[in-house]
C-alpha cells in the first residue's frame, strides 16, 4: 500500500515537472525563441518570470502531496540612452574687430539654461573655415556662449558666413548663418 502512495507521489511530481517544462517552452516560443537572449530591446522595461518548483509535503492524514511554490525572478533589460534635445543658438552680435584681427561673436541658446556645453563659432569664406570655441554658462533663462573670438591669418577681405553650433550631454544645435564683412 505504501508503494502505491509513493508511486502516486512520483507520478504527480513528474507530471508537474513536465507541465512546467512545457509551459516554459511554450512561453519561450511565444516570445520569439532565442532572439530575446541575444538582443535587447532598448525601450523594454524589466520583466518578471515565474518559476514553479515542487515541494513534497505531508497532509495530516499521512499522504504525500506536491505543492507548487512560485519564485519570481527579475529579468533586467537594456534601457535607451537619453535622447539629445535639439536647440537653436541665437547670434546676438557678430562683428569684425580690426584691433585684434578677429571676428567677435556673441551668442546664446534661449531654450535651455545649462553650463559646461561647448559653443563653437565657425566663419566660412569659400573653402576656408576658421573656428573659435568657448564653454557655455547658465543664465537665468538661457545658456550663454559669452564672447567667441575667431582669429587666424586666413581671415581675409570678404563676406564671411558665421554660424554658431552648440553641443552638450543633453542638447545640440546650430544657428542660422549671419554675414560679417571684413574690409
CA distance 155 to 59: 94
CB 89 within 8 A of CB 107: yes
Going by pLDDT thresholds of 50, 70 and 90, the confidence category of residue 50 is very low
DSSP type of residue 115: S
CA distance 63 to 29: 37
**DSSP per-residue codes, 138-182:** E-SSSEEEEEEEEE-TT--SEEEEEEEEEE-SSEEEEPPPEEEEE
Tell which CATH architecture fits domain 85-182. Sandwich (2.60)
pLDDT of residue 41: 45
Phi (first) and psi of residue 84, to 5 degrees:
-80, 125
CA distance 167 to 18: 57
CB 180 within 8 A of CB 155: no
Averaged pLDDT for residues 52-73: 54
Q: In the chain, what percentage of residues exceed pLDDT 70?
A: 65
Query: Comparing C-alpha atoms, which of 142, 177, 175 is closest to residue 159?
Result: 177
CB 12 within 8 A of CB 4: no
CA distance 45 to 52: 23
Domain ranges of the chain: 2-75, 85-182
CA distance 19 to 13: 10
Averaged pLDDT for residues 91-98: 96
pLDDT of residue 80: 65
Full-model pTM: 0.56
Amino acid at each position: 500500500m505504501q508503494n502505491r502512495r509513493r508511486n502516486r507521489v512520483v507520478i504527480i511530481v513528474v507530471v508537474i515537472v513536465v507541465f512546467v517544462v512545457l509551459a516554459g517552452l511554450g512561453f519561450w516560443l511565444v516570445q520569439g525563441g532565442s532572439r530575446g537572449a541575444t538582443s535587447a530591446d532598448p525601450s523594454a522595461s524589466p520583466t518578471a518570470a515565474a518559476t514553479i518548483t515542487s515541494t513534497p509535503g505531508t497532509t495530516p492524514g499521512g499522504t504525500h502531496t506536491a505543492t507548487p511554490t512560485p519564485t519570481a525572478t527579475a529579468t533586467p533589460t537594456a534601457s535607451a540612452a537619453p535622447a539629445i534635445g535639439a536647440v537653436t543658438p541665437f547670434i546676438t552680435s557678430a562683428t569684425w574687430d580690426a584691433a585684434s584681427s578677429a571676428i567677435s561673436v556673441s551668442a546664446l541658446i534661449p531654450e535651455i539654461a545649462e553650463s559646461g556645453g561647448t559653443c563653437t563659432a565657425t566663419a566660412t569664406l569659400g573653402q576656408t573655415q576658421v573656428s573659435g570655441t568657448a564653454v557655455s554658462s547658465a543664465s537665468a533663462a538661457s545658456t550663454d556662449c559669452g564672447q567667441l573670438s575667431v582669429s587666424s591669418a586666413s581671415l581675409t577681405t570678404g563676406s564671411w558666413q558665421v554660424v554658431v553650433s552648440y553641443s552638450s550631454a543633453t542638447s545640440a544645435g546650430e544657428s542660422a548663418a549671419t554675414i560679417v564683412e571684413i574690409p
